[in-house]
Amino acid sequence: MYGKASAPEYQGALTTLSVNSSLTDVLAAGTEQLRAAERAGQHGEAARSGLAVAEAHRRLGRIGEADQAWKASYRAARAAGDIAAMAWALWSGGTLARQRGALALARRLLRLAAELGERGGDIVVRGYSLAGLAETGRIQGDYEAVGELHEQLLAEARRRGEARHTVWALEGIAQMHRNTGAYDTAYAMFEEAAGIAARADDRRGHAWALRGLADVVSVRDGDTERALALLAEAETTCRTMKLTSALAYNHKMRGNVLYRAGRHAEARDLYEQALTEFRAMSEPRGEALARLGLAKSLARLGRDRAETAAELADLAHTLERTGLRHAREMVARAQEEFGLRAQEESGLRARDESGPRAQEESGPRAEVVR
């Protein structure tokens, strides 16, 4: 039913690149082709090779370079009058915005990408852009709003026999089931995704599916060693393909598995490693999740209660601002786990009660600052 997985973001002269090409190889080939296209004044080719450059930078965690590259790709596509290439550039920019936590911008760019994809007659970029919108809602925890869209995209991908997109949709839906406690359904969908990815030689999709399976095996079955083995297998792929972000999430998940097993010192070390990796690539969602795991591990290892309370409160406020509702709920559960929820709510009430008086007292000074 499914053919070999393809990478539609590698376009123009770069269509020979595989979905499994090392990102450093993609970056080198894309940069070479981009420079050649720019010298020749070929705006369309510059847009399409620039897309590969942008995606390689993004997946390697090089945020600044990725931001410059997708914008340059869009400008080149606009100069060429290539609506579909403009859509692909916007898709890349929207995906980057989600990765760095700018969720409102991500939604705006991805909506525009979907609209241009439809206008330009490119159903693939339209599908990828809608998938990006669905994923943005999913990581915010807005499952009711995007669950139907995930299912719709899964049906479309199955109908067209697109292995890579089918794997993505299965993994997204599986993650929602896992987060709502439907572990058996989640496991079955991650398992199907892993099977399709393996047969289609989609190593990136396979690595993410193994990570999902490891999570369910750990939380549902308490099988720590099998979970760690699955993550080790996925890590090999991440390192071979230079999947920087996926590798950081792999390390964070390994921390989760070890924490559940009561191996708190080992979990602490993995969370610290993941936190460093997420900060290096400016990925705030991963950073927040690693901080949460680290705070819980340190608390189990005897960290001062007040320090744990302050860390979790700060995380809660950060996640409120960014709109990551599911992650915010995870922090709330951690506060309950350590008996800190009542303390946090008491602190919020105290701030609310003192707010008007404090504002009144600081009014003249604030006016001066303005």
Reply yes or no on whether the pLDDT at 74 is more than 70. Answer: yes
In one-letter notation, the amino acid at residue 183 is Y
Cα–Cα dist 242/8, whole Å:
19
Digit-coded pLDDT (tens) for 253-265: 999 999 999 999 9
Q: Which of 138, 62, 47 is nearest to 96 (CA)?
A: 62
Assigned token pair, 30? 């894309």
**DSSP letters along 244-270, please?**
HHHHHHHHHHHHHHHHHTT-HHHHHHH
Is residue 211 within 8 A of residue 249, CB to CB? The reply is yes
pLDDT tier for residue 130 given thresholds of 50, 70 and 90: very high
Q: Looking at residue 38, what is its pLDDT?
A: 97
Q: Which of 286, 283, 322 is nearest to 66 (CA)?
A: 283
Q: Tokens 């559960």: give the residue.
A: 333
pLDDT tier for residue 48 given thresholds of 50, 70 and 90: very high
Q: Which of 355, 305, 361, 356 is nearest to 335 (CA)?
A: 305
- Report for 2-6, 115-119, 138-142, 162-166: range of highest mean pLDDT: 115-119
Reply yes or no on whether the pLDDT at 44 is more than 60. Answer: yes
Q: Looking at residue 361, what is its pLDDT?
A: 35
DSSP class of residue 13? G
Q: Looking at residue 354, what is its pLDDT?
A: 46
Q: Looking at residue 140, what is its pLDDT?
A: 87
Of all residues in the chain, what percent carry a pLDDT higher than 70? 92
Contacts of 70 (CB under 8 A, 6+ apart): 50, 51, 54, 58, 89, 90, 92, 93, 96
**Across 147-156, 230-239, 272-281, least confident range:** 147-156
Digit-coded pLDDT (tens) for 266-293: 999 999 999 999 999 989 999 999 999 9
